[in-house]
Amino acid sequence: MPSLFSHLINRFQLRILLYLLVAITLPLFVAIYVGNHQFSSYSERAMMQDIDKQHDQLVQGVQRELSDLTEITHRLAADYGILSLAKRQEAANPTTADLNAYVNSLLSEQTEHTRYIEQACLTVLASNRTLCAQAGEVDGKLMLQGKSLNKRFEPLGEEVSHANAYLLTYSESMIDRASTQELGKVIIWINMNKLMKEITGGTGKNTSYTHVLLAPDKRMVYRDGVYTGDWQGGVQELGSVHKDGTRIYSVKQVDVIGNDPWLSYYDAPLLPDSLRAWPAYRIWLIVLIGLVIVLSLGGILLFISTVTKPLYVLKALMNRAERGDLRAYWTFKSADAWMQVGQSYNQMLNRLEDLIKQVKREESLKKEAEMEALHYQLNPHFLYNTLNTIKWVAKLHKTPQISEVVSALVRLLQASLGKKGDFITLRDEMGLTHDYMAIQRFRYGDRIQLQTHVDDITLGCLVPRMLLQPLVENAIIHGIGPTKREGVITIRSWLDRDLLFCQVEDNGVGMQVAEGSSGWEAMQAAGGAQAERMLKERMSGVGISHIREKIKLIYGPEFKMHITSKPGEGTTVRMFLPIHQGEE
């Protein structure tokens, strides 16, 4: 099972799918988080505004209903029939049955039309009696409560047990217009629970909200919900809306006729964002997650068709080419970018095939050249063996000069055949030059002298094989030989900084070279067949050119050979080479 899991994880397509999921999901959730944060702030502000609006509606409703109650009470206190009843009872007139019926009907009408009026009563001061609608005389508690009222709303302070509600009374005195005396009072008993139900539209209590009305003396006029009494600590000023971590608070002023303003306290829960927004978020999250999955799958399918499949095709073709099949050409139809890659791959195969053919052809030519070289080496080896035979015959016949000349010639032949490699020390090169001069003495005798001025430190430096001998040969044949007089050839060598200087001088016929130029420049500047013939007659062009090209090929174009010459004074050939020390 672990191996299967690791195999799935290592699949390129699965990794691309995971990458696409992360690349799409991460910005999406960041956007959701930022949007949720913005939505939360907006929803909190909206909820605070909504709570403030609800509280305003409650306060305005309370003020409106209380204003209507004062109007109802004023009409009752000014009613002619009620004033007549109060006057007759004050005058102890017993003929009040009709008036009693009228007043009772009038008071009962108010309780029937206004549902939150629990009771409407008439108290006559002279007889100290109280008449209430549909209830007749009430007990002393109501009378005593009514005696102290004069155009004021008065809360009872706590829920009345028999009504199971907060009760509020409002009273207004009945004044005799003729004598301006107070005849009695009209008292309205208000059920605050029913009144608030009228204001809120009869929706009933909401246990998550709290609404409290407080009289100026802090007596509770009405309460709905849980009230702990510590709300004032969270509210800074009237008319403001505040929130803490869990709830929103609002306190407003209620203007009441005949009383100091009341305080209306209202608070509501600040629901968590997740609980408020979850019903809407649930659908959007499901849609977004589904959209992410669809986009990711579509992306991986597109990636497979445009990238992965052509990549596997190219990999298979490269494996065939690696096994030697150079005809594994790209023929897969895909996007333009892959077609360009395929064309480059096909061109690479063609180029590789051409290079292989070229290498095989060069190897064949190399073998043919090696065979031809072996063939041409037969004559030098035959000459080398013949000279060795002559040397031993000369020794047997006791002719040492012939033996020395042949020995010198053998050493030169060995050097020309490359028996000691392409590089030899300057000491060995000087030895080969002395061997050559030993052979030339049989022809010229002592007419040509060889002088050497060589620094000992330069003798261990490596130089190309057969570097000095061709220059000495040119000095003898073309420099000193035509003069028919004694000649001197001087070989010099020295070190200057990081360069080795080798120089061959002769006092032969020389040639015309312009001042400031070299022999090579003189040949190029002169031009024509005459200049070429003169240089070839003066110097062995093949040997000199060979040395010059050898120096350029081995050390590079910055290391050269310079030729200076004057007619009748001789020629100087100077070479400067990099310092390579040999093993001494």
- 393 and 446 housed in the same domain: no
In angstroms, the Cα distances linking 322 to 308, 338, 355 are 21, 20, 15
- On whether both 357 and 432 belong to a single domain, the answer is no
Does residue 263 lie within any of the structural domains?
A: yes
Nearest partner of 319 among 345, 353, 351, judged by Cα: 345
426 with 502, same domain: the answer is yes
Could you give the count of Cα atoms lying within 13 Å of 337 in the half-sphere of its Cβ? 4
pLDDT one-digit tens code per residue, 380-409? 555 655 666 676 666 766 677 777 777 777
* 573/502 Cα distance (integer angstroms): 8
Q: How far apart are CA 317 and CA 328, in angstroms?
A: 6
Please check whether residue 92 lies inside any domain of the structure: yes
Identify whether 22 is part of a domain: no
Distances (CA, A) of 127 to 131, 181, 355: 11, 15, 138
- The pLDDT of residue 281 is above 90: no
The count of domains in the chain is 4
| Structure confidence by residue, pLDDT tens digits, 490-526 | 999 999 988 999 999 999 888 877 655 555 555 444 4
Contact indicator for 265, 226 with CB cutoff of 8 Å: no
Q: Report the 10 Å Cβ neighbour count for 433.
A: 23
80 with 229, same domain: the answer is yes
CATH code of the domain covering residue 232: 3.30.450.220
8 A C-beta contact, residue 224 and residue 215: no
Average pLDDT over the chain reads 75
Based on the fold, state whether residues 239 and 149 are members of the same structural domain.
yes
- Do 99 and 122 share a domain, yes or no? yes
Do 102 and 191 belong to one domain? yes
Task: Determine phi and psi for 417, rounding to 5 degrees.
Answer: -80, -5
Query: Which strands make up the sheet holding 570-578, listed edge to edge?
Result: 448-454, 487-496, 499-506, 570-578, 561-566
Residue 451 sits in a domain of what CATH number? 3.30.565.10
Structure tokens at 548: 């010059």
* 574 and 427 belong to one structural domain: yes
Compute the average pLDDT of residues 566-572: 88
| pLDDT for residue 143 | 39
Tell me which range, 217-231, 235-249, 302-316, 458-472, is most confidently predicted by mean pLDDT: 458-472
Query: Residues 262, 132: one domain?
Result: yes
Q: Do 244 and 100 have their domain in common? A: yes
Stated pTM of the model = 0.43
Q: Please state, in angstroms and as integers, the Cα–Cα distance from residue 478 to each residue in 28, 123, 482, 527, 536, following that order.
A: 95, 166, 7, 21, 9
Say whether both 553 and 454 belong to one domain. yes
Average pLDDT score over residue span 471-482: 87
Which residues constitute the domain of residue 291?
A: 274-362
List, for residues 93-132, the tens digit of each pLDDT value.
Answer: 555 677 778 888 888 888 888 888 888 888 888 777 788 8
Are residues 73 and 159 both part of a single domain? Answer: yes
Residue 219: inside a domain: yes
H or E segment and range at residue 183: strand 182-191
Half-sphere exposure of 344 (CA within 13 A, CB side): 7
Most confident option among 126-130, 231-235, 238-242, 349-353? 349-353
Q: Which helix (H) or strand (E) holds 454?
A: strand 448-454
The answer to whether residue 29 is domain-embedded is no
